């Protein structure tokens, strides 16, 4: 592929000043990839529960360790972010909310909601634990 160097380029990540729209967009992908990797832990947990009490205890012990809890906290934030921003995407798909002020407002709501829901999840989880 011989690209014509003089043709105008659409803005690429490398030369694009970060702004909330682009940062939230790439965050949706990053959290999606992170959730895919993190969900391996869910499968391990289910397989361990099906294998036997010793395997299940190993899985529970890892998840309950400081590293496991750190992963869980990261997973929780990625989950709520991808969840909220996914709903924002579904709203866009219906053709609504695509004016710039609405896009910005939705972005701020998503960031606030994901932080709030992450903290709420952990407060409830720590009380229930």
Closest CB to another protein among 85 and 107? 85
Closest CB to another protein among 56 and 104? 56
Exposure class string for 27-48: b at 16+ Cβ within 10 A, else e: bbeebeebbeebeebeeebeeb
**Nearest by Cα to 19 from 96, 79, 99, 103:** 103
Q: Does 93 bind another protein (CB under 8 A)?
A: yes
Among 71, 89, 103, 104, which residue sits at the site for another protein (rule: CB under 8 A)?
89
Other C-beta atoms closer than 10 Å to the C-beta of 76 total 19
Residues 6+ apart with CB under 8 A from 13: 22, 26
Closest CB to another protein among 31 and 100? 31
**Nearest by Cα to 27 from 91, 85, 106:** 85
Among 20, 23, 46, 109, which residue sits at the site for another protein (rule: CB under 8 A)?
46
Among 8, 11, 18, 53, which residue sits at the site for another protein (rule: CB under 8 A)?
53
Among 24, 77, 79, 88, which residue sits at the site for another protein (rule: CB under 8 A)?
79
Q: Does 33 bind another protein (CB under 8 A)?
A: yes
Q: Does 121 bind another protein (CB under 8 A)?
A: yes
């Amino acid at each position: 592929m011989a690209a014509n160097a003089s043709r105008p380029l659409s803005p690429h990540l490398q030369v694009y000043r970060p702004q909330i729209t682009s940062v939230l967009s790439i965050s949706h992908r990053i959290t999606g990839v992170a959730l895919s990797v993190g969900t391996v832990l869910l499968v391990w947990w289910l397989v361990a529960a099906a294998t036997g009490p010793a395997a299940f205890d190993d899985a529970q012990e890892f998840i309950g360790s400081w590293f496991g809890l750190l992963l869980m906290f990261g997973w929780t934030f990625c989950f709520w972010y991808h969840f909220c921003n996914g709903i924002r995407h579904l709203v866009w798909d219906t053709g609504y909310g695509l004016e710039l002020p609405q896009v910005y407002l939705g972005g701020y709501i998503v960031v606030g909601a994901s932080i709030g829901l992450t903290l709420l999840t952990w407060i409830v989880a720590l009380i229930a634990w």
